[in-house]
Amino acid sequence: MSDLSASVAETAHGFHVTGYEKIEYDFTFLDGVFNLENPQLANYYTQWRRCLAIMDLNIFNLYGSDMTRYFEHYGISLKIHKTMIGEKAKSLETFTEIVDSMTDFGIIRKEPVLVVGGGLVTDVAGFACAAYRRNTNYIRIPTTVIGLIDASVSIKVAVNYGNYKNRLGAYHAPMHTLLDFNFLRTLPVGQVRNGFAELIKISSCAHIRTFDLLDEFCERLIETHFGRINDTTGEVKKVADEINRAGIYEMLKLEAPNLHEIGLDRVIAYGHTWSPLHELSPKVPLRHGHAISIDMAYSATLANRRGLLSDDEHRRLLNLFSRAGLSIDHHLFDEDMLDKATKAILKTRDGLLRAVVPAPLGKCTFLNDVTAEEMNAALRRHKELVKQYPRQGEGIDAFVDSSDTGYTVNSAPLEETLHRVDSKHEAKHEDNKNHPSTSNTFISNLKEVIANRYPHGYHIVEQEWAEST
């Protein structure tokens, strides 16, 4: 929510206007946001007696009945727009589909839209609310680790355009954000790992206590979905709650004085110098957490070469990424990518690189004087280092799949295609047991293509797979 105070003064040749916008928005930690005994969400819709919810389809399939029951219990009419979204469909088309739903519903000027889902959904729906009548209220309920501890913090909303992330967007604060970490119970482990990267980001640059906890409990945090499943003693949940609260608080303290990004030296932009271009470059995009992990790991190597990060701290950071199953390298992250991504980010950052690097762990500095020669030398060293790590630096579940898209991929044509591909794979490799990843990679690519509605995309991917095998 925001209020604006302004003054107008006459000048010799016209007028001078000065305005100050007061921005207020709240966060509430609430386990069981759709539990009937928790009226916090319903209270926002009592006066309207109705609610338009924008949510991804996977979340609807998991929680739609609970949500419907909740609003019925409080006598509130509920209409749900189930969005189908992935990184490639975080687009103007998806944006306008949401706007059409708002028009059909007849949203009243101050009536809040309810946005439920991961960071992709909250970004696009938030942008639709920012654009609709130039300012429509909304309430956020993030459902992923990234959504809960990162996307929920800022007031940035956006869609991708071309091959660039978040190229079109706005700054639009929600009325309220409800943080329910119980959603992590049903979150795929790949998504848990994906969000883990954001906690490494903020802790390695701004909060060493949190980094120490992530380092100590890494595998257990991911395996138990931050203590929400299979945590018999409750120890991991207690640690996770401390980590999450501290991570959100540190990011809020860093972002709150600079909500409109007037200041471009931003600590929480660690990992976001080269990743915005790299993330969408593979045919099947990298998950956001993996893209920024590659950027962060490389940036740490750059800092280490400069003596800003000790060898022990550098190794400790790379080890944590690897233990978490996050990517620390990718074959497309090469000198050409560095050059293109650098040129792109210089435009975003007003001509300066402003690359955040830990210096030392728990603190950070900004680099503006890195030459192309130094970048490339650091990259060569980085690629040599990652060869020593499991999977040679590649991540686990590194690429987007149906759990990123809001789709439940179970259509008959897809199942038939997958069966055909599996049969073809078995026929080609029946005497060679060293190629299972080829089929797995293709199937993952195929799911992403269909889930994101690439026109005729699965024919292209299948042809490429057939040629490669």
Cis amide bond preceding 360, omega within 30? yes
DSSP-assigned letters across all residues of 390-459: GGGGPPSS-B--HHHHT-----HHHHHHHHHHHHHHHHHHTT-TT-HHHHHHHHHHHHHHHHTT-TTHHH
- What's phi and psi for 388, nearest 5 deg? -80, -10
How confident is residue 465, by pLDDT bands cut at 50, 70 and 90?
A: low
Q: What CATH number is given for 189-393 in this structure? A: 1.20.1090.10
How confident is residue 431, by pLDDT bands cut at 50, 70 and 90?
A: very low
Give me the percent of the chain exceeding a pLDDT of 70.
84
Q: Which residues pair with 114 in a beta bridge?
A: 53, 139
Task: Give the model's pLDDT for residue 452.
Answer: 46
Please state, as a whole number, how many other Cβ atoms lie within 10 Å of the Cβ of residue 146: 26
Task: Give the model's pLDDT for residue 285.
Answer: 87
Domain 25-186: top CATH class = alpha beta
Query: How far, in Å, CA of 324 to CA of 395, rounded?
Result: 9
- What's phi and psi for 21, nearest 5 deg? -100, 125
Give me the percent of the chain exceeding a pLDDT of 90.
72
**Token pair for residue 63?**
């929680």
How confident is residue 274, by pLDDT bands cut at 50, 70 and 90?
A: very high
The answer on pLDDT for 439 being more than 60 is no
Alpha helices in 142-287 (DSSP H): 145-146, 189-206, 208-223, 235-255, 275-278
Which residue ranges make up each domain of the chain? 25-186, 189-393, 409-468
Q: Which of 253-257, 337-341, 345-349, 437-441 has the lowest mean pLDDT?
A: 437-441
Q: What angle do CA 182, 184, 189 make, to 5 degrees?
A: 160
Beta strands in 47-142 (DSSP E): 50-56, 77-83, 113-117, 138-142
> What are the pLDDT digits (tens) for 134-157?
999 999 999 999 999 988 888 999
Task: Give the model's pLDDT for residue 410.
Answer: 35
Cα 182 to its chain centre, rounded Å, is 18
Q: What is the pTM of this model?
A: 0.82
Task: Give the model's pLDDT for residue 432.
Answer: 45
The answer on pLDDT for 418 being more than 70 is no
> What are the pLDDT digits (tens) for 204-242?
999 999 999 999 999 999 999 999 999 999 999 999 999
Q: From residue 106, how far is each of 74, 133, 323, 362 by CA, in Å?
A: 21, 12, 49, 48
The answer on pLDDT for 75 being more than 50 is yes
Query: How far, in Å, CA of 443 to CA of 66, rounded?
Result: 32
Task: Give the model's pLDDT for residue 1.
Answer: 55
Count of helix runs (H) and strand runs (E) in the chain: 17, 12
Query: How far, in Å, CA of 461 to CA of 464, rounded?
Result: 5
**Mean pLDDT, the chain, integer:** 87
How confident is residue 415, by pLDDT bands cut at 50, 70 and 90?
A: very low
Query: How far, in Å, CA of 19 to CA of 25, rounded?
Result: 20
Listed as own residue / partner, the contacts of 421-429 with beta carbons closer than 8 Å and 24 or more positions apart are 421/446, 421/462, 421/465, 424/466, 425/469, 428/469, 429/469
Rounded to an integer, the average pLDDT of 187-198 is: 94
Please state, as a whole number, how many other Cβ atoms lie within 10 Å of the Cβ of residue 202: 24
Rounded to an integer, the average pLDDT of 57-69 is: 92
The answer on pLDDT for 342 being more than 60 is yes
Q: How many CA atoms lie within 13 A of 173 on its CB side?
A: 18
Please give the single-letter amino acid code of residue 402.
S
Look-up: residue for tokens 């992403």? 448
